[in-house]
Copies of this chain bind each other. A is one copy, B any other.
Amino acid sequence: MEETLKKRIKELEEELQRKEKCSVREKISEMSAEVVDSNPYSRLMALKRMGIVNNYEKIRDFTVAVVGVGGVGSVTAEMLTRCGIGKLILFDYDKVEMANMNRLFFQPHQAGLSKVEAAALTLNAINPDVVIDTYNYNITTIDNFSNFMETIRTGSLTQGPVDLVLSCVDNFEARMAINAACNELGQTWFESGVSENAVSGHIQLLVPGVSACFACAPPLVVASKIDERTLKKEGVCAASLPTTMGIVAGFLVQNVLKKLLGFGEVSWYLGYNALEDFFPRMQMKPNTNCDDSFCRQRQLERPPPTPPPTPASAEPQEVLHDDNEWGISLEDEDAGDQSAYGGGDIKGLVEGVRTAYSVPQPSDNTSDVVQESEISLEELMAQMKSI
């Protein structure tokens, strides 16, 4: 009898061990380009042979902070993990819910876990070579914000500043917190966002002192004294789609790879309008009267711009913009699509983007205020800031 019981225990233990063990592979000390089925890096190292990237292995030196591990942030973290990034630092304070299952990444059995904890478990199973730190808190409270700043400043693999901060949050307050931290630290970051109707999104590169910061455009939410939280009505939830979230995460990580590994052209702003498959690109220069004193300080520290080396250069062309009533300089990188933004004055530009990003089709009456209000204030802010 005792023997039978002991045998059963052994069987069960082995079965459990198998289930635990099979989810994690061994660490790999050096990236290899060897073309064998067992090498998880062969298709990435092939980017060198294809002439796309000079030194792919360098990806292991970089640290990226992802703030917000929701529809965009979780896929962003997974893509960077599969690419073999050196270190990821994840910030979120939400729990996984069944209502998140319409986006990629989280699975039903993770419902109830904290998002950062669940994400770290999955990412570690996918690629144990990536160092993953998690912070299960809201970065906008005073104590957490100072810890967030310190983590950004010292969180890299060599205890220096992280290489990039990626904003994947869903609210204005958190974006402003990231913006304030990055301006003070002179930290380059990417912003991302998806509209509440789920059919548009964008990514944006912010280099303190060089590009407009998130506070450079007049903060309408602040100016009009609207508390964003009162906009969220009881029983009303935003729409979301795995497609739009996945595409925005893809754009974000692709531009992160281009920036870190030095290939291709990094977009300053790349928008996505799913209804029309329309992709606006543009650039916004900083506001010399920005409310954020660190933004103004970073602008003063910026060396004077050098003229572009050749007229056909892919570098931003400093001569294209006009000044406007807000003191913000605008550049439209896609000259062929000027008309889409209303011809150049900032009112026209904002309305153009409103049209492109709001629910109605081009044939609808887009001047209708009720229709325009279907795009969230937060998203409208993001769109206005980014043009």
Contacts and interface: CB of A to CB of B under 8 A. Distances in A.
Interface string A40-59: 11111011011110000000
B240 A43 contact: yes
A22 interface: yes
Contacts of A9: 5, 8-9, 12
Contacts of A107: 23, 125-126
Tallying the copies of this chain within the complex gives 2
A278 to B, nearest CB: 8
Nearest to A363: B312
A301 to B, nearest CB: 29
Interface residues of A, number: 95
Contact of A275 (B101, B265, B337): B265
Interface in A222-270: 235-244, 246-247, 249-251, 253-255, 257-258, 263-265, 267, 270
A52 B277 contact: no
Given A108-B25, A250-B247, A275-B264, A51 B197 contact: yes
Interface string A200-237: 00000000000000000000000000000000000111
Given A23-B107, A79-B246, 8 more contacts: A5-B9, A24-B109, A44-B240, A107-B126, A109-B125, A243-B254, A247-B250, A276-B314
